[in-house]
Structure 1
């Protein structure tokens, strides 16, 4: 009786529109993300998936914590197909074997067992229907699958339906036993095992590389200069969506956990239009001084001013910083005209600082020379928005009114 009820519910779900079935159910496991723990491997993989999908022409949406770790939809508005992805990070070296994926899990207190990785995934296919739900097991390790000689072969990306009928049988039997259905009801077409190249260490650099390729090949409608920043912003948006743990009773409420193609492009466009963080500009500038062989002590002292300069730049009420910037900018114009074409960054920095201190000494009173040089590096890299630093017009003096 229980089995027939379960089958009836599955048939009803298959008949519903996909967006109706995707909404939360009381039986769904949804823990959300803890923002204090940093980005998870699953969230970085979702960000990577977005970057890879942007290389294609079709529409898409990436949903996090919707039934599985990641769900990839063919539309954020009226989805007709979904790929459910379960992502497993493994800290050790090695590979998975096929049995690892279909053997039942740990024993519960009531004597039943947790479902295997493939059984949990396959439950989604029974809920959504094989015509619109594909399944993917993703890990940083590959999987060893049976080959035609009776041994095993390493697979980085494979559809389990390529296995022979005899090789598929134990997988189908295990899934069927755990889900309470017939072996013949289990179809392994579009059930994928996939090894991701996303590294456990510094995943942001890998995602950044994907974004750089999109940008340099013209696959984005804008030029993305700061791909490492863009990667972290994208992952941050994924994390924010994953943290939405409110129960979604309909698809509109579920969209809080979904990033559409257009939203992904908007996120990256905002990064493209923004300037790099001042700390990053200073780091790049001091690295250039290193390459030029600039005097070590001067470089060391400039680096020591990094935090102070960035803090002062973020304070729009800091009139001392504003005066320093404006004086350096005025000095920059004649200096660049005189020596800019042939000067190194270090030479330009020192010449601009010398000219500015001579022209407006009052603006620099009491400030360390290394601090002034650090600000000059920001000015030379056009990193400071002078419109923001321009003092607002005050009321006119009474005699002029």
Structure 2
């Protein structure tokens, strides 16, 4: 299959994926070319295995919405997503549940992880964000927004939600980093981290059963009282892994990227200073406009399906590029423009369907709260380096920036 790229060039080779970015905040040119000429494109993954890449909005939404197709990538003929044997976060844990088991799990977690719970967390999140910003300011400018605010806040929030003690939060951050790596860690390191994480959560669940608190794990345990120990263990492990991935790395990286995007166009920051009502739509537009989202969402096709006019056989692994779909001109007018007033904005940053992001309400709350705090406390905030000099993090499933140097 020939793969066109923007500019009309054609490649006979199967490209390596993820694609290289021309800049940390710029999309790869392949996206536009594939949407126009090859919406179902062969790619080579970090493991060396081949898969198919979907880049159009309607196609990505179709596959993600279909409950038959899951992240259960341990089938013998499924492509390995990562360079390590296990496939990392895509090969194990709650992400691989499917069918009735997954529906029951989501229903149960949904009863405990409610919008009311997230709303109740917002004042604590705002207080923590304010503390982190003050600490960053005290250290003097220029400062790195990623290490100062972006990474500490989400891990604090997810640990607060799960009832994890402050002293264990650095370990949580490491486990998350390891499970989301495509190439940075060897199989032995990944296996050890997964085993440590599982053992920690089992012990934490035991402690919460003995002394319940107001956290999510305690509430889940009270809801499943009477289930056998193995089912309870699976529930807690799946929930904690799903929330750690959804609530830590993705949000941590997005805080840095969102701020960099808004500061890269000074008129955007000034518009927010003039009208705080734009905070909510600005966060949604940053999620849509993100050119550095990472890998995308893999799906294993358990049976034949037609996508973009092509019949894809069962046993195929596809990768859904939500970021490319979010720039599809067929769905979004002026898709290449960051419009802080865009409404409606049905982006796919959190996925869609039965496997949509479990932690999206928490992520939205964190992003909106961080932006509010930065605007209030650092109205003169600006990038300390040109946007073109920002560098992305390498070797991870989730896209992010190494540093976002800022001054005020």
Do the two structures share a fold, i.e. TM-score over 0.5? Answer: no
Relative contact order, higher structure (CA 8 A, sep 6+): 2
Max radius of gyration: which structure? 1
- TM norm structure 1: 0.22
- TM norm structure 2: 0.22
